[in-house]
Amino acid sequence: MIFAIAMGMGLVEKRTPATSPSGSKVRTGLRARLFAWSLGHADHTQHRLYADRKRALFTQIEGRAGSAPVVVEIGAGTGLNAAFLPTGARWVVVEPNVHFHGRIREAAQAHGLTVDLRDGAAESLPVADGEADAVVSTLVLCSVADVSRSLAEARRVLRPGGRFVFVEHVAAPPGSLLRRVQRLVRQPWGWLADGCRPDQDTGRRLAEAGFADLQMDAFRVSGGVVAPHIAGVATR
Ligand SMILES: C[S@@+](CC[C@H](N)C(=O)[O-])C[C@H]1O[C@@H](n2cnc3c(N)ncnc32)[C@H](O)[C@@H]1O
């Protein structure tokens, strides 16, 4: 009953998201708006937790033969990673939640990037084979419907030698108490955090994704159920 009322008010999105004129899935509902609003207040915390690591990783993004790099970012959220990208980069953003798009355009302008917002999702990137010098994903693979497919897509759009740069929270080690807690809270957590899965085994999926090289560090932040993280660079 409560669920039905919430559906009626648009608080709960129907399972099938809206479709854009190009046919791809876009998210426009009140739940998407609420998530965009709440994440919009978290940039400062995120910079405190991840900025040093991102700064170090993002220096590995390079264009072809001295030209500005083409960087595809999946799930860019508020666009906070613009601060770490090389000035002049072409920033191709695939962000299904339209309530972030204004912030993303502002971030591009503030940091001297050319932004190209495209309809789509990580699982089916609207990007040509080999078009990207780098693909960036921060705190996104926990939320996608299919991690392996998203990684296969990242690999497809990278040029040979191109880099997949990631910072992600991940599942705790198998058999640990935290892993059990992550499984236990998965459903309510997903509802509150826009489909995020605290027990997503992204590290394993990355190791299986067929990149030529994978440099990956594990670290923890004081984030309770989402404390375990990985960060690194996978090279095609
Ligand atoms: C927790 S937010 C992280 C945003 C940003 N990357 C950051 O580091 O703050 C997850 C983002 O992934 C996006 N997202 C969810 N599912 C996606 C998908 N299948 N493809 C691309 N982006 C997706 C959400 O709209 C949201 O912007």
pLDDT in tens, 123-163: 999 999 999 999 999 999 999 999 999 999 999 999 999 99
Give Cβ neighbours of residue 222 (< 8 Å, ≥ 6 apart). none
Categorize the per-residue pLDDT at 17 as very low, low, confident or very high, splitting at 50, 70 and 90: very low
Instruction: Identify the residues whose C-beta falls under 6 Å from ligand 1.
Output: 39, 46, 74-77, 80, 94-97, 100, 121-123, 138-140, 143-145
Query: How many Å lie between the centroid of ligand 1 and the Cα of residue 61?
Result: 20
Rounded to the nearest angstrom, the distance between the alpha carbon of 29 and the centre of ligand 1 is: 15
Q: Which domains does the chain have, with CATH numbers?
A: 2-170+202-235 (3.40.50.150)
pTM value is 0.91
* pLDDT band at residue 19 using 50, 70 and 90 as cut-offs: low
Taking all residues of the chain, what is their mean pLDDT, rounded to a whole number? 90
pLDDT value at position 27? Answer: 85
Specify whether the CB–CB gap between 164 and 233 falls below 8 A: yes
Look up residue 78 and give its DSSP letter: T
Count of beta carbons in the 10 Å neighbourhood of residue 177: 8
State pLDDT tens for residues 38-49: 898 999 999 999
